[in-house]
Each structure stands twice: as C-alpha cells, then as structure tokens.
C-alpha cells in the first residue's frame, strides 16, 4: 500500500520538488500553500498520482485544525509530515527592521510549524508510526548580518525538532531537522519583496543547492529503515563555507 506524505508550502521551491519526487516514487500526496492555481496545476501535472490539495494560510491555526479534521479517508493516515512552508523577509540590521516583517516570520516559521505538528502528531502516535521533517536552515546554526529574526526562527525549529524527539521517545515516531544553506528557489525573491534582479545576484557566479537536492535528502530520510532516525542534516553548496569573526578596530 502506498504511503502518504503531507508537504506544506508545495507551490514552489523545495515543497514543489518534493511533491514531484514522492509522486514519482508512488506516494500519495497532500500538498498545501496559499496559491490554489499552482496547487491545482501541480496536482494535474502529477496525475495519475493520488494528490489532495488544500489552500490555507499556515499562520491560521484554526484553518490547520479544520484541514486535518477534514482530510478524506484515503489521506487521513499521514506517514510523513514535511513542515516546509516558511520564509525570510528582508536583510536589514535589527535596528532598522520592520516589526511587521519580524512578526510574519515568527507567525509562519514558528507558529505555523508548531500548529501543524500539533494537529498531525496524535494520529502518528496512535499508529506508532510516522516521521516529521522540519525545514530549518544554516541560519539557525550560524549568525550572519541581517539574519536576526529569520535565524532566530530557524534556531527555534532546530530545538523544537530535538525536543519533539524527546517527547516522542518510545512511540516509534521519528523527527528530522533539515538545515540547508543557499538554495535557489523563490526564497530570495520573497526575501527581497519581488525584486528578481536582487534575488538573482545572491546566486550569481556560484552553484547553489536546488529543490531537487533537498527532495533527495528528504526522500532518503523518509525511506530509511524504521529503526533509523536522522536527527539533523546540515547541507550547503560546495561553493559556500564559513567566514571569520569580524573585529571592529578603533581608529588611532
């Protein structure tokens, strides 16, 4: 019998690539996002794969619980939940940031992910089977200028993932945090409020990760034997590494 994967944020980037990958491997898909047309187009493209689509804003916790309660019988037993929907907004230093943008990141990357996990976990625990894959980021491990609240949300996602493991001890339910570096999706277009040229500059002259790279990793984690729990995977493009610590020197 084919397994069921729920992927949030499947209208572009990682989520869309995961949907294609898991459909090709014969999984049943539940795909979500705010852009209905894109979800429908993806479902049509993936036919004859069994795909259930749902349009809602991940920041709306009532919409999440209603969505999970109303899942069709065929899709109720979720084997894998990928908490992928998320975003970065801006790259300004903290003292100049727009508080609304900070709150949007917190509501989406933290509160949305937490609410979806809370809605799906009871079924997994009842069935003694399941996997939650969270999309963290290198930004949750390493500070960088302008990363402020985005990095803070991803540090939350990492620690929440590890704490879920502690709570789920003995239930058979697995949890993995995926922590990618630079990947070319719509991520930077969103971060720079639709400025495609500015977004393209981020990846200019280097080979970034792709949605397919992340889909490969998630597929590996999801198909590892039931006794194997991958706690965390941090992955970067080869062209990206680490810098030193900047020192501010006083003029003499």
Chain residues in the site for ligand NDP (CB under 6 A): 9-15, 33-35, 57-59, 84-87, 108, 135, 137, 180, 182-183, 185-187, 190
Stretch that binds ligand 8X3, among 47-55, 110-118, 137-145, 219-227 (CB under 6 A): 137-145
Torsion of CA 67, 13, 29, 37, to 10 degrees: 60
**Residue 237 touches which member of ligand 8X3, ligand NDP, none, C-beta under 5-8 Å by kind:** none
**Residue 35 touches which member of ligand NDP, ligand 8X3, none, C-beta under 5-8 Å by kind:** ligand NDP
DSSP string, 157-179: HHHHHHHHHHHTTTSSEEEEEEE
181 is a site residue for ligand 8X3 (CB under 6 A): yes
**Residue 224 touches which member of ligand NDP, ligand 8X3, none, C-beta under 5-8 Å by kind:** none
Q: Is residue 5 a contact partner of residue 79, using CB atoms and an 8 Å limit?
A: yes
168 is a site residue for ligand 8X3 (CB under 6 A): no
User: Closer CB to ligand NDP, residue 128 or residue 231?
Assistant: 231
Active site residue 150: yes
**Long-range contact set of residues 22-30: C-beta below 8 Å, sequence gap at least 24:** 22/215, 22/219, 22/222, 23/49, 23/51, 25/219, 26/2, 27/2, 27/3, 28/2, 28/3, 28/4, 28/52, 28/74, 28/75, 29/4, 29/5, 30/4, 30/5, 30/6, 30/54, 30/71, 30/75, 30/78
138 is a site residue for ligand 8X3 (CB under 6 A): yes
- How many residues touch ligand 8X3 (CB under 6 A)? 6
| Distance in Å, CB of 237 to ligand 8X3, minimum | 10
Residues in the chain: 252
83 vs 120: CA distance, rounded Å: 11
Pick the binder of ligand 8X3 from 4, 8, 117, 137 (CB under 6 A): 137
185 is a site residue for ligand 8X3 (CB under 6 A): no
User: Closer CB to ligand 8X3, residue 36 or residue 240?
Assistant: 240
| Distance in Å, CB of 135 to ligand NDP, minimum | 4
* Per-residue contact flags (x/-) with ligand 8X3 for residues 144 to 163, judged by CB under 6 A: ---x----------------
Q: Is residue 56 a contact partner of residue 32, using CB atoms and an 8 Å limit?
A: yes
User: Closer CB to ligand 8X3, residue 139 or residue 173?
Assistant: 139
128 vs 124: CA distance, rounded Å: 6
Catalytic residues: 150
């Amino acid at each position: 019998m084919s397994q069921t994967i729920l992927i949030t944020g499947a209208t572009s980037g990682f989520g869309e690539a995961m949907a294609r990958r898991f459909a090709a491997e014969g999984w049943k898909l539940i795909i979500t996002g705010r852009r209905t047309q894109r979800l429908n187009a993806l479902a049509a493209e993936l036919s004859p794969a069994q795909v259930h689509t749902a349009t809602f804003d991940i920041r709306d916790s009532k919409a999440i619980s209603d969505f999970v309660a109303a899942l069709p019988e065929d899709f109720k037993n979720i084997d894998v939940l990928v908490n992928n929907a998320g975003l970065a907004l801006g790259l300004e230093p903290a003292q100049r940031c727009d508080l609304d943008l900070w709150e949007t990141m917190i509501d989406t990357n933290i509160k949305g992910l937490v609410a979806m996990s809370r809605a799906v976990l009871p079924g997994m625990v009842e069935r003694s089977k399941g996997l939650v894959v969270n999309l963290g980021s290198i930004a949750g491990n390493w500070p960088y200028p302008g990363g402020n609240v985005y990095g803070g949300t991803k540090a939350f996602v990492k620690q929440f993932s590890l704490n879920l493991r502690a709570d789920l001890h003995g239930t058979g339910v697995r949890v993995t945090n995926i922590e990618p570096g630079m990947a070319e999706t719509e991520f930077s277009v969103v971060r720079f409020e639709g400025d495609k040229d500015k977004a393209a500059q981020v990846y200019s002259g280097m080979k970034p990760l792709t949605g397919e790279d992340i889909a490969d990793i998630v597929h590996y984690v999801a198909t590892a034997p039931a006794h194997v729990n991958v706690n965390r995977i941090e992955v970067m493009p080869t062209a990206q590494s680490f810098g030193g610590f900047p020192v501010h020197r006083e003029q003499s």
